[in-house]
Amino acid sequence: MMRRFFLIAIPYAWLLALFLVPFAIVLKISLSDYAVSIPPYVPQFDWAEGIGTFIAQLDFENFIWLTEDDLYWKAYLSSLKIALISTFLTLLAGYPIAYGMARAPDEWRPTLMMLVILPFWTSFLIRVYAWMGILSNEGFLNQFLLWTGVISEPLTILNTNSAVYIGVIYTYLPFMILPIYSALERLDGSLIEAAEDLGCSRLSAFWLVTVPLSKNGIIAGSFLVFIPVLGEFVIPSLLGGSDTLMIGKVLWEEFFSNRDWPVASAVAVVLLLLLIIPIVLFQRNQQKQQEAEQ
């Protein structure tokens, strides 16, 4: 009994210390007001005045502010669009790679796995900088295309949304490949043989057997890509142009240019809600389906 309790306590303690406590702090700041002080917001918690007065000083002014300026909604929508499109494109690129890996001979698999993980050995930031060198007007890509004669004028890719998509897909591809690979690897090959014996073409066997059985991998991969891309800051700020609107950049502006921590925190809280609500709904739906199946 005790052992079970400890086993469950570990993930909950993790969640409490690394998610709920920081979130409570951010939520508290989002209900505060901007002030010229260190740190730049009031009220500060004061034991002498007690928790009642402290809570009475908090208000939702910053959230109302977010609804009054269309910048925030445009940035949320634009981030959502970029995250959805990149998740889809990453899936499109990642699935065949994962499929190929799962179908490769056993002795190749560790090597293929290594190749997917290898880029992580270099700093993420350096890899994004490398893309700046590749995509710029005088970069490798343009020089190569000019040399082959495919284009006569250099393409402007750096500082546009296309560069953001390229950077995002490159960076997050392993997060899509690995869960799909682990789902496909466990797939029982005899199921496909059975489908083919029963008259399925190879393509319909793929659609009717392989894809549904790798569904969990697809979902896990899509979440692993979608969630961080939605709040992505480094890639759009280094590869995107000044008109690439993403909520991560808006958050940065609020924090650094306005030095308005309360509004920056309100933006972060809304971002979190936007992420959590669909995930909770999705989980509920999954649970219901499972119950229905049983």
Partner 1 sequence: MTLKKLTMTAAVALGTAAVASAEEVRVYNWSDYIDESLLEKFEAETGIDLIYDVFDSNELLETKMLAGGSGYDVVVPTGTFLQRQIAAGAFQKLDMSKLPNHENMWDVVSSRTEQYDPGNAYSINYMWGTTGIGVNVPKVKEILGEDAPIDSLELVFNPENMEKLSACGVHFLDAPAEMIPAALKFIGEDPNSHDPDVIAKAEEVFMPVRPYIQKFHSSEYINALANGDICVAVGWSGDILQARDRAAEADNGVEIAYHAPVEGAQMWFDQMAIPVDAPNPDGAHKFLNFIMDPENMAAASNYVYYANGNKASQEHLAEDVIGDPAIYPDEATLNNLYTTTPYPPKVQRVVTRLWTKIKSGT
- The Cα 79–Cα 77 span in angstroms is 5
- Residue 199 Cβ, how far from partner 1 at the closest point, in Å? 56
- Residue 129 Cβ, how far from partner 1 at the closest point, in Å? 14
- Residue 246 Cβ, how far from partner 1 at the closest point, in Å? 10
Which is closer to partner 1, CB of 37 or CB of 290? 37
Which is closer to partner 1, CB of 69 or CB of 188? 69
What residues make contact with partner 1 under the rule CB under 8 A? 34, 36-40, 69-71, 74-75, 159, 242-245, 250, 253, 255-260
Which is closer to partner 1, CB of 113 or CB of 132? 132
3-state secondary structure the chain: CHHHHHHHHHHHHHHHHHHHHHHHHHHHHHCCEECCCCCCEECCCCCCCHHHHHHHCCCCHHHHHHHHCHHHHHHHHHHHHHHHHHHHHHHHHHHHHHHHHHHCCHHHHHHHHHHHHHHHHCCHHHHHHHHHHHHCCCCHHHHHHHHHCCCCCCCCCCCCHHHHHHHHHHHHHHHHHHHHHHHHHCCCHHHHHHHHHCCCCHHHHHHHHHHHHCHHHHHHHHHHHHHHHHCCCHHHHHHCCCCCCCHHHHHHHHHHHCCCHHHHHHHHHHHHHHHHHHHHHHHHHHHHHHHHHC
Q: Which residues, at least 6 apart from 270, have a Cβ–Cβ distance to it below 8 Å?
A: 63, 66, 72, 76
Which is closer to partner 1, CB of 39 or CB of 212? 39
Which is closer to partner 1, CB of 37 or CB of 294? 37
Query: Is 190 in contact with 110 (CB distance < 8 Å)?
Result: no
- Residue 275 Cβ, how far from partner 1 at the closest point, in Å? 22
- Residue 163 Cβ, how far from partner 1 at the closest point, in Å? 14
Which is closer to partner 1, CB of 169 or CB of 250? 250
Which is closer to partner 1, CB of 98 or CB of 157? 157
- Residue 263 Cβ, how far from partner 1 at the closest point, in Å? 8
- Residue 124 Cβ, how far from partner 1 at the closest point, in Å? 16
Length of the chain in residues, anyone? 294
- Residue 58 Cβ, how far from partner 1 at the closest point, in Å? 18
Which is closer to partner 1, CB of 76 or CB of 226? 76
